[in-house]
A and B are shown apart, each in its own frame.
Chain A
Amino acid sequence: MSQKDLEIIIATDCGSTTTKAILIEKKGDTYRQTFRGEAPTTVEAPFEDVTKGVLNAITEVEELSGRKILDGEHIITPNNGNTGADIYVSTSSAGGGLQMMVAGAVKAMTGESAQRCALGAGAIVMDVLASNDGRADHEKIERIRQLRPDMMLLSGGTDGGSVTHVVELAQFLKAADPKPRLGASYKLPVIYAGNNKAQSQVKDILDSSTALIVTENLRPSLEKENLMPARHKIHDIFLEHVMQQAPGYPKLMKMVGAPIMPTPAAVGVMTEKFAKANNFNVLAVDIGGATTDVFSVFSEVFNRTVSANLGMSYSISNVMAEAGLPNILRWLPFDLDEQDLRNRLKNKMIRPTTIPATVEDLQVEHAVAREALRLAFDQHKALAVGLKGVQQERSISDAFDQTASGASLINLMNLNYIIGSGGILAHSPRRTQSMLMMIDAYQPEGVTMIAVDSIFMMPHLGVLAQISEKAALDVFYNDCLVRLGTCLAPKGMGKDGQVIMDWEIIGEDGKRHSGELRFGDILHIPFESPKGRAIVKPAKGFDMGAGSGNKLEANIEGGVVGVVLDGRGRPFDLAKAPAKRIADLNKWYKAMDMYPV
């Protein structure tokens, strides 16, 4: 179907608990999201058929929009007047999403490349096996046997290099005789994307006991990563094997007009399209109840990580375990007994659907959210790196700015845009809460625009972007993003009360705001103008992106929060003395009008 024909689009995202449907209609030259419906996902018993939930969600859209989309269990295509849609697309993370195990010869090299490959394809990586991962051989074999992944990605060695390690991994895999998670009767799909010289040996070892697929090496040389061929194979297997085993998916695959994508893969596509269209460096996060996904595009390089046990309900207690109690308590503007906090978080873990009913309880959840966001970002920074083990040629000028191979690609000063999604960010009672949580967790430097995806529409738009980039971007700009505003944060450290920046912001209507920012303060300027300019002159020792003490002019976006001038310095840390820390927090929360007094 040509893009010209696309006028009415129906899209669904089948999540673990809810299936969400949206209707997109072309209004004049622009695509807009007009109606949405949702229904419980029906993958598990007693229904065990994902299409039931899909049909229920679409029925809700039908009722709200007055458009007849379904004819029994079929989507009516193409659209004709007030009937049907031109295309139906869907993503899915139901049933725990795509779960993979990856293996590489050297953990920091092919192991890491294989991990990036699987994550980028939308998978949850259950474990990374490597010859040098510190585990004894029998422990590795035991681990492969225990885990029941949907598929496995085996890599190792550069093309033409040594075959020993990768053949050894293949032998361990055969000895473990792993079983796939779904469908006891079929063989585990294994993608081999390692040294091309070892292909025939790997085939000899694994061909009879697994469903082996051989593709190009994902690390053909130390200097080159070639993730796309293996990533495509992951998607093929996801559709051909994994989806076929999940309840109702064969039916769903017949309903859609484009291949079903794993939800995180679709969010990744949308993040990339948005970054490319605007020439931005983008950070996107989806913080859920069980997991936190982080996506980034820096200098056109896309990365995704998923922190499988950092989340706000099922995994809330794990955030406590990983962050440590003091790190959560530090964000609270009141004293809370450690035992009380422990019991509260465990009670949320065992009753994950409960919600905060008091401001104090809300602040506890916001404290946990900051730590979950921070930890997931730390994990992302560790994986979003340049290739390790690469010989670098350096000129004399580089000697003053030496970066080791494998340096993180994430540079907060160059970050243009942060997009947050997930209940705690998208549904905070006050939008200022979402904005400050992200600022506190990520500590953006210089000029950074911030938005939330209020109803988590990015999956639908990511899969739609495969068919029509214009439709996806139109809806993304107009209906998906809720612009919060812009954060202006000078990098540097000073003394409380010291003037660290003169600033001026100008709206599209020519309205100006200006003033001084002092160290240790937050200024919140309501500013709704969608486009604007900021002119900032940091003091000596402070940098807004143009160098220490240098003036900067930059485009900014206003929004439902406005402009936040963050004078707390970078790297920002809270006062160690409890009284000062609580006083600071109260001052900042008051400046942001965060909580009812």
Chain B
Amino acid sequence: MAHAYTPGLKVIPCTVLRKKRLLPIPGRVLVEMGKQVEALDIVAQTQLPGKVFSVNVANRLAVGPEEIQDFMLKKEGDPVKKGEIIAENKPFLKWFKTAVESPVDGVIEAVSMVTGQVLLREPPKLLPIKAYVKGTVVEVTPNFGVTIESEGTFIQGIFGIGGETNGEVAVAVASPDEDLTPEDLNETHKGKIVIGGKHASLATVKRAVELGVHAIVVGGIHDRDLRQLLGYDIGVAVTGTEQVGVTLIVTEGFGMIPMAEYTFKLLSSRNGERASVSGATQIRAGVMRPEILVPGYPKNVTICKKEQGRGWIEPGDPVRIIREPHFGVIGVVKSLPPELTKVGSESHVRVLEVDLPGGETLVIPRANIEVLEK
């Protein structure tokens, strides 16, 4: 049977997945193999070296760099407090005395007789890593962290901003083609993962931030709103560190696009349950998509799917069109003609035929569809 390889976003009622939770530099692993962990448990932690500050003691005391050793009150490795005097000159008249104070709490890292600089390092900072998902520790990477296996509903979005968070799923609209408006949000949504329909405006996102909503999941947003929210244009899709007060996930793309009905129904089936959510997106080199993970099974599911999808499409598969002029339209693959076909732009490309629910059939470049993996 004809089939074609194609990328797709996972929307799976129940699957088994593994999450690596590793420190950026070596540290201490706090949980052992086989341990059951909750999303907010700390599994590893390390100490990040403190920031380094420089003070040009030679300039401040108006002496040559090679002379500063004579004026230093502290030596390399000594702890210092902010405001504590680290060097001072010894004039005949007290009136001319100059003292150099430490700009930070920390230790003296280096004293240079070449440049006359003294480098001071702030105390290290504790960096903990949480489990993020409820599950079992199935692998320990000594000094770095663990791998956690979790079973549950797994939904990938196409784009997101903001980091990892956690909360109860709260469906705030009645259907996937309904806008999520500021009026749909209220105090009960504080700390929750709010599911909307086709679109969230800037006003809605701002309202969510005011209320302390942890995350919003909708079909689309306007790029203009995103720019206003962040204060800058996202140039390259590497996100996850934004600090706007809420994690935002879009499932379909930019514009007003209803959430795929299947995605909406699946999220609705987990309404009221706790989910782990991340907005981190990276399109290049090791693709990462935003995700929603709800541990456990939906009521109508009895077994958990272990395979990772077959990675290609065949006639009968549901697909989403992801480029103009039919952006966001969902249909079913009718056929995969092997020959190159000339499309409207005059490019000769491989295409597929897609049947739409209304009975219409479209010819679409294969590069312009996405399989809906269930």
A321 near B364 with CB under 8 A, answer: no
Q: Choose one: A164, A168, A317, A347; the contact of B255 (CB below 8 Å).
A: A347
* A residues 355-386 touching B (CB-CB < 8 Å): 355-362
The yes or no answer to A350 lying at the interface (CB within 8 A) is yes
Which residue of the partner chain B has the closest CB to A349?
A: B237
B235 at the interface (CB under 8 A from A): yes
Q: Does B105 contact A (CB under 8 A)?
A: no
Chain B, 248-287, CB within 8 A of any chain A CB: 253-255, 281, 283-286
**Cβ B349 vs Cβ A355 within 8 A:** yes
Contact indicator B114/A350 (Cβ below 8 Å): no
Measured CB to CB, the closest approach of chain A to B345, in angstroms, equals 4
* CB-contacts of A500-539 with B (<8 A): none
**Which chain A residues border B347 with CB–CB below 8 Å?**
355-356, 362, 427, 429
Q: Are A317 and B234 in contact (CB under 8 A)?
A: yes
Q: Is the CB of A361 within 8 A of B255?
A: no
Could you count the A-B residue pairs with CB atoms below 8 Å apart for me: how many are there? 164
Task: List 9 A-B pairs, Cβ < 8 Å.
Answer: A137-B52, A142-B52, A171-B112, A309-B235, A315-B235, A317-B237, A351-B322, A354-B365, A358-B344
With an 8 A cutoff between CB atoms, is A388 at the interface?
A: no
- Is A221 interfacial (CB 8 A cutoff)? no
CB nearest to B24 among chain A residues:
A179
Assess A175 versus B121: contact at CB under 8 Å? Given A138-B52, A164-B115, A322-B235: yes
Enumerate chain A residues within 8 angstroms of B7, measured Cβ to Cβ: 353
Closest approach, in angstroms, between the C-beta of B312 and any C-beta of chain A? 14
Q: B345, A317: Cβ atoms under 8 Å?
A: no
Closest A residue to B255 by beta carbon equals A343
CB pair A357–B343 under 8 Å, yes or no, is: yes
- Quick check: A350 and B158 within 8 Å, CB to CB? yes
Q: Which residues from 323 to 374 on chain B have a C-beta closer than 8 Å to any C-beta of chain A? A: 323-325, 327, 343-347, 349, 364-365, 367-368, 370
Q: Is A16 an interface residue (CB 8 A)?
A: yes
Contact call A176/B52, Cβ cutoff below 8 A: yes
CB proximity to B under 8 Å, residues A286-345 = 290, 309, 314-315, 317-318, 320-322, 338-339, 342-345
Task: Tell me whether chain A's interface is mostly helix, strand or loop, or mixed.
Answer: helix
Interface contact B255-A359, CB-CB below 8 Å: no
Q: Is the CB of B109 within 8 A of A164?
A: no
Q: Does A187 contact B (CB under 8 A)?
A: no
Considering the chains assembled together, what is the distance between the CA atoms of A349 and B227 in angstroms?
15
Whether B52 contacts A356 by the Cβ 8 Å rule is: no
* 20 more A-B residue pairs beyond the given contacts A175-B110, A315-B235, with a C-beta to C-beta distance below 8 A: A44-B286, A137-B54, A142-B51, A164-B114, A171-B115, A171-B119, A172-B52, A172-B54, A290-B236, A314-B284, A339-B222, A342-B222, A346-B254, A350-B158, A354-B323, A356-B323, A357-B323, A358-B325, A362-B347, A429-B345
Residue B154 at the chain A interface, CB threshold 8 Å: no
Q: Are B233 and A320 in contact (CB under 8 A)?
A: yes
Asked if A81 is at the interface of the complex by the 8 Å CB criterion, the answer is no
User: Which of chain B's residues has its CB closest to A315's CB?
Assistant: B236
**B65 at the A interface (CB under 8 A):** yes
Whole-angstrom distance between the Cβ of B19 and the nearest chain A Cβ: 15
Q: Of the candidates B25, B121, B223, which one forms a contact with A342 in the assembled complex, judged by CB atoms under 8 Å apart?
A: B223
Q: Which residues of A contact B364 (CB under 8 A)?
A: 357
Which residues of A have CB within 8 Å of B227?
A: 342
Q: Is A134 in contact with chain B by the CB < 8 A criterion?
A: no
Q: Cβ of A10: which chain B residues have Cβ within 8 Å of it?
A: none
CA distance A44 to B238 in the complex (A): 18
CA distance A345 to B232 in the complex (A): 15
Q: Could you tell me the distance between the alpha carbons of A36 and B368 in the complex, rounded to whole angstroms? A: 27
Kindly list chain A residues whose C-beta atoms are within 8 Å of the C-beta of B115.
164, 167-168, 171
Q: Contact between A168 and B323 (Cβ–Cβ < 8 Å)?
A: no
With both beta carbons as reference points, the residue of chain A lying nearest to B5 in the complex is identified as A40
CB pair B52 A141 closer than 8 Å: yes
For window 43-63 of B, CB contacts with A under 8 Å fall at: 49, 51-54
Q: Which residue of B51, B233, B253 is within 8 Å of A350 (Cβ)?
A: B253
Q: Are A350 and B53 in contact (CB under 8 A)?
A: no
A-B interface, 9 closest residue pairs, ranked by CB to CB distance from nearest: A318-B235, A429-B346, A321-B233, A342-B223, A343-B254, A137-B54, A362-B345, A346-B254, A354-B323
B224 contacts the other chain (CB 8 A): yes
Which of B's residues lie within 8 Å of A, judged by CB?
7, 25, 49, 51-54, 65, 109-110, 112, 114-115, 117, 119, 121, 158-159, 222-224, 226-227, 232-237, 253-255, 281, 283-286, 322-325, 327, 343-347, 349, 364-365, 367-368, 370
Instruction: Report B136 CB to chain A, min CB distance, Å.
Output: 22
A596 touches B283 (CB 8 A): no
Is the CB–CB distance between A344 and B235 below 8 Å? Answer: no
Q: Please determine whether B235 and A321 come into contact, CB atoms closer than 8 angstroms.
A: yes
A residues in contact with B159, CB < 8 Å: 346, 350
CB distance from A358 to the nearest CB of B (A): 4
Known: A314-B284, A357-B323. A164 touches B233 (CB 8 A): no
| A357 engages B222 (CB within 8 Å) | no
Q: Does A440 contact B (CB under 8 A)?
A: no
Q: Complex Cα distance A137/B121, Å?
A: 12
Chain A residues near B119 (CB, 8 Å)?
171, 175
Can you list, as one digit per residue, whether each of A191-203 has a CB less than 8 Å from chain B (1) or not (0)?
Answer: 0000000000100
State whether A347 touches B110 (Cβ < 8 A). no
**Residues of chain A within 8 A of B327, CB atoms compared:** 347
A163 within 8 A of B: yes
Report whether B52 and A354 are in contact in the complex, using a CB–CB cutoff of 8 Å. no
Which residues does chain B contribute within 8 Å of A163, judged by CB atoms?
Answer: 114
Kindly state whether residue A96 has any CB partner on chain B within 8 Å. Answer: yes
Contact of B344 among A175, A357, A427 (CB under 8 A): A357
Q: Which residues of B contact A338 (CB under 8 A)?
A: 224
Distance in angstroms from A134 CB to nearest chain B CB is 15
Give the shortest distance, in Å, between A485 (CB) and chain B (any CB).
20
- Roughly how many angstroms separate A362 CA and B324 CA in the complex, as a whole number? 11
Of the residues B233, B286, B344, contact of A317 by C-beta under 8 Å? B233
- Bound CA span A345–B253, Å: 11
CB contacts (< 8 Å) of B235 on chain A: these are: 309, 315, 317-318, 321-322
In whole angstroms, how far apart are the Cα atoms of A443 and B177 in the complex? 48
Instruction: Report A7-48 CB contacts with B as 1/0, cut-off 8 Å.
Output: 000000000100000000000000000000000000010000
B51 and A314 form a contact (CB under 8 A): no
What residues of chain B lie closer than 8 Å to A171, measured between beta carbons?
110, 112, 115, 117, 119
Contact B346 A347 (CB under 8 A): no
A362 to B344, CA, bound (A): 9
Cα distance, A171 to B223, chains bound together (Å): 43
Task: Decide if A233 is an interface residue (CB 8 Å cutoff).
Answer: no
- The reply to whether B284 and A290 contact each other, CB–CB distance below 8 Å, is yes
Q: Is the CB of B53 within 8 A of A351?
A: no
B362 and chain A: residue at smallest CB distance: A357
| Candidates A142, A164, A350; contact of B237 at CB < 8 Å | A350
In Å, the complex CA distance between A373 and B344 comes to 25
- A175, A176, A339: which contacts B224 (Cβ < 8 A)? A339
Q: Is the CB of B283 within 8 A of A350?
A: yes
Do B285 and A357 touch across chains, with their CB atoms under 8 A apart?
A: no
Q: How far is the CA of A314 from the CA of B323 in the complex (A)?
A: 15
Partner of A357, one of B53, B234, B255, B324: B324
- Knowing A351-B158, A430-B346, say if A339 contacts B223 (CB, 8 Å): yes
What separation, in Å, do the CA atoms of A174 and B286 have in the docked complex?
31
Q: Is A494 an interface residue (CB 8 A)?
A: no
Known: A314-B237, A353-B367, A358-B324. A168 touches B117 (CB 8 A): yes
Asked if residues A349 and B222 are in contact (CB atoms below 8 Å), the reply is no
A352 interface residue per 8 A CB criterion: yes
- Cβ of B222 and Cβ of A359 under 8 Å apart? no
Contact yes or no, A314 B349, CB < 8 A: no
Hey, which chain B residues are within 8 Å of A474, CB to CB?
none
A138 contacts across to B, CB distance below 8 A: 51-54
Q: A584 at interface (Cβ–Cβ under 8 A)?
A: no
In whole Å, how far is A102's beta carbon from the nearest beta carbon of chain B?
Answer: 20
